[in-house]
Amino acid sequence: MITPRMIHTGRLNTHVLERPATGESGRRLLLVHGNVSGSAFFQELLDALPADIHAVAPDLRGYGASEAKGIDATRGLRDWSDDLLSLLDALGWERAHWLGWSLGGGVILQAALDAPGRVQSLTLVAGISPFGFGGTHGPEGAPNAADFAGSGGGTVNAGFVAAVAAGDRSDEPGSPRDVLRKYYVNPATFTPTPEQEEAWLDAMLSTRTGDDFYPGDLSPSPTWPSVAPGTRGVANAFSPKYLNLSAFAHLTPPPPVLWVRGDADTIVSDTSLFDLAQLGALGAVPGWPGADVCPPQPMVTQLRALLARAQANGGSCREIVLPGVGHAPFIEAPGEFLAALTSHLDTT
């Protein structure tokens, strides 16, 4: 049975969904959600996990029912990593398997860097690039501009943020419900049930908004698209100005990694529809200076290059690409996803 509860850690009062294990196998799994979401997205996966796994899905700071504490973007993803390591302390878990979806994939890579001894394995589910979101090019994440223009809080659609803040439950274009239907999953192959959609929309609308939360503040830039990262909030925390996870490849050795993604993902992609450079290339954002100055970010290529370096350093990295699947493989292809995850956990 899945039980919601509040856990008081040394850093944060953290709301979790917990699925206890049957028996004493000692297998423990921490599930970390992505941006504009929450632990509720993992409800069905928690139900489906093997009975001998003790699983916990927290709401990250800034999301769900967890305590609202601001995010210091200059630390990259470390506020969340530190929160989760403190949660492990409160649970009495010395080590765990870690699963991270989208932004959560970056958070668990950061946790592996911060405390490698506490990470038994990693499962990246449509994980973000090791160089964050926006403003870089090439497999090694070279910045497009010295001030990292094209990333950070100013790149997020202000109308969408306002809709989240207002608790908008409409199906108007650009509303949270519309974004959920069109981008969180591949609408050509997957339609949520009404119950799923309402639960997931509730989680999206639980996102705290503002300069300290989502999307964060911004700095003006002389470089297209005229915004650079600020120092606070979510989108700045995963700006390449503050986020660089390339050291993961140099752990000795890196923990084993399963990477599962869909080939129809339009959020984390080499042609992401949420990257202003890609939107500029498509003519959707005016003034784009061209691919020689501001190329779209090759997010998938960047993560693949990092994992290849990790494997060359003794790590074990497996990539699984699910056809027709969008940004939420564990939701859109639950059978295939669970089989891959179970195999990974059984062998690590």
Domain CATH for 326: 3.40.50.1820
Mean pLDDT of 172-200: 98
Q: What is the pLDDT of residue 23?
A: 76
Radius of gyration of the chain (CA): 19
Q: What is the pLDDT of residue 306?
A: 98
Q: What is the pLDDT of residue 87?
A: 98
For residue 270, what is the DSSP state?
T
In this structure, the strands spanning 27-32 and 53-58 are parallel
Q: Output the average pLDDT for the chain.
A: 97
Task: Tell me the DSSP string of 18-75.
Answer: EEPPSSS--EEEEEE--TT--GGGGHHHHHHS-TTEEEEEEPPTTSTTS-----BGGG
Mean pLDDT of 271-296: 97
Return all residues near 198 (Cβ < 8 A) that are at least 6 apart. Answer: none
**pLDDT tier for residue 81 given thresholds of 50, 70 and 90:** very high
Mean pLDDT of 326-336: 98
Handedness of CA 279, 296, 234, 264 (dihedral sign): positive
pLDDT digits 0-9 by tens, 7-42: 999 999 999 999 999 877 789 999 999 999 999 999
The answer, yes or no, to whether residue 314 has pLDDT greater than 90, is: yes
Assigned token pair, 275:
């990257």
Q: What is the pLDDT of residue 102?
A: 98
For residue 21, what is the DSSP state?
P
Mean pLDDT of 104-125: 98
Domain that holds residue 271: 3-346
Of 26 and 195, the one with more pLDDT: 195
pLDDT digits 0-9 by tens, 33-72: 999 999 999 999 999 999 999 999 999 999 999 999 999 9
Q: What is the pLDDT of residue 262?
A: 98
Q: Tally the domains of the chain.
A: 1
Mean pLDDT of 161-166: 98
The answer, yes or no, to whether residue 126 has pLDDT greater than 80, is: yes
Distances from the Cα of 266 to the Cα of 186, 272, 280, angstroms:
9, 5, 15
Mean pLDDT of 182-189: 98
* DSSP helix/strand/coil, 97: strand
pLDDT digits 0-9 by tens, 204-256: 999 999 999 999 999 999 999 999 999 999 999 999 999 999 999 999 999 99
Q: For residues 281 and 117, what is the distance between their CA atoms, to the nearest angstrom?
A: 43
Q: What is the pLDDT of residue 336?
A: 98
Return all residues near 3 (Cβ < 8 A) that are at least 6 apart. Answer: 17, 18, 19, 20
Q: What is the pLDDT of residue 24?
A: 72
